[in-house]
Amino acid sequence: MASAVTYFVFRTGLGAICLLAGLEKARAPQEFVEGVRLYRLVSSRFAPLVGGGLIAAELLLGVLLVSGLAPVFAAAGAIALFTAFAVALGVSLARSNTAPCHCFGASEVERISPLALVRALALAGVAVAVLVFALGDTAGIAREDLTAALLMTAGFVTVTRLSGLLPLAWSFLRAEASMYPTPTRRVSFKHQPLHVPLFPEEWRQ
């Protein structure tokens, strides 16, 4: 059934994203804590507590969503988590804070941007859909639909993860375009008289 496939893709995809983000942050927890400080939303002394709590929450929710255990609790937790991310990004954008996003670990490639905010809101929306499915009477996915569902889940996770590189790619393309500026005005020789001397200059002296 289509609803069963959609539920599977949303639930496992969201769980995989949480696991991926949590594991990448857990690889460099100090850098992530420093990233939390750069948001300037909590006191510096509470940043380690907030950072550690976010890593633990992402890992826990990821395991629950992927495994399908306690789906209502996991979906509600994901809604709260991604809504909190969206609020933090929105406040930072309002303050013109373009520090590294640290949405997927300690990498400084992706920075706080409207795209990161839209992604957080979209993932919160996916979590709402998972909660609706979990509260309903959704049947399990059929075996013949499992392969297609796994491929769609992989695509969902890949697109979400790579979306953070779009601003970097756009900046690169703009830099490349600036190296080869296009002419702003055409030079036309139409209606311009052509003066060709019949004799050399020294003959006319």
Per-domain residue ranges of the chain: 2-176
Token reading at 117: 């905010």
Close Cβ partners of 129 (under 8 Å, ≥ 6 residues apart): 6, 10
Give the integer Cα–Cα distance in Å for 113 and 102: 12
Given a contact cutoff of 8 angstroms between Cβ atoms, the answer to whether 163 and 119 are in contact is: yes
Local confidence pLDDT in tens for the 205 residues of the chain: 678 999 999 999 999 999 999 999 999 999 999 999 999 999 999 999 999 999 999 999 999 999 999 999 999 999 999 999 999 999 999 999 999 999 887 776 788 999 999 999 999 999 999 999 999 877 778 888 999 999 999 999 999 988 877 665 555 565 555 665 555 555 555 555 555 555 555 555 5
Long-range contacts of 107-114 (CB under 8 A, 24+ apart): 107/24, 109/164, 109/165, 109/168, 110/164, 110/165, 110/167, 110/168, 111/167, 112/39, 113/167
